[in-house]
Amino acid sequence: MQRKKLFNIDGDDTLINRRMIKGNVTNLFNLNNVKYQWANKLYRLMMENFWIPEKVSLFDDKRAYDELTPAEQNAYDGILSFLVFLDSIQTNNLPNISDYITAPEVNLILAIQTYQEAVHSQSYAYIIESIIPAEKRAYIYDRWRDDKVLLERNKYIAEIYQDFIDERNDKNFARVLIANYLLEGVYFYNGFNFFYNLSARSLMVGTADEIKYINRDELTHCVIFANIIKEIRAENTTFFSEDEIYEMFAKAVEQEINWSNHIIGDQVLGITPESIEKYTKFIANKRLKDIGMKPMYDGFDENPYAHLDKISDTNGEGNVKGNFFEANVSSYNQSTAVEGWDEI
């Protein structure tokens, strides 16, 4: 693939000739002349989702952390370690993707996504500094060095991203886009549900509030890549191999189930190996349908954690309570900012 020019004097910005990739644009941001209207809608949602990690109070979580069982503490620490990796690699790699997207309106929201991923990394640092005992903090970042399951998880996505950096061809770029979609759409969610499960039991409520805001951002990121993939499939029907997409989904689901059983297993109240498998395959089926492909797991069409939806508040139902603006207000406008995101 050919990286687009910073300024292409011979570019053509007419909408009829605009393409998601391999287009010939000037690379100027004429945002009054937009082909992909869904990108405009997402831009407004993402801008409304502005938030500051330190505005969420974690004061009570420090005491609650000491009350967790050893298994819950281990899961809390390990999931944080994995989330740190996910958002670190996204912050670093998104510009490599944007360099090959030839729709300015989409480049704009990818820039916002990069910023949001950096905010998420700061959120994890804030959680770690506020809650984790000092002697354990470094291990949150370095756990992959000792945990072989975590290392394999991290390597799978990182190597796909690195393959494209080393050899920038169509096949590797297609794999990067699917890997990104899997990261945003599958890998986060068992971890998120662990925090919501604790919150449902009145444990680590501040952490769950922080995760809500991250979760809402990640949902919009998932929509970005679902739409990018759909547009490319419509414009170039041979760019993606459906067989490879299914293979990558199967690998991601296998790894997500193995990791979740490894770090959570049957040691945390409200989560079982059965619910982990049901949820992971349910969410994978949903993500496949969202890019116009058939689900791959028959019978996995119900969310076993539906009772946590109200806590996650990702559908805009209810208000985000807690301490986001301390005692000044009881809700935050982000609670409905992504309402209807899956219709975009």
Query: Active-site residues: which are they?
Result: 124
- DSSP for residue 330: S
How many other C-beta atoms are found inside a 10 Å radius of the C-beta of residue 185? 25
CB 248 within 8 A of CB 135: no
Q: How far apart are CA 208 and CA 56, in angstroms?
A: 10
Nearest of 113, 141, 137, 116 to residue 52 by alpha carbon: 116
φ and ψ at residue 101, rounded to 5 degrees = -90, 125
DSSP code of residue 6: S
Sign of the CA dihedral running 15, 20, 25, 31: positive
Residues in the chain: 344
Concatenating the DSSP letter of every residue in 180-231 gives HHHIIIIITHHHHHHHHHHHHTTSSHHHHHHHHHHHHHHHHHHHHHHHHHHH
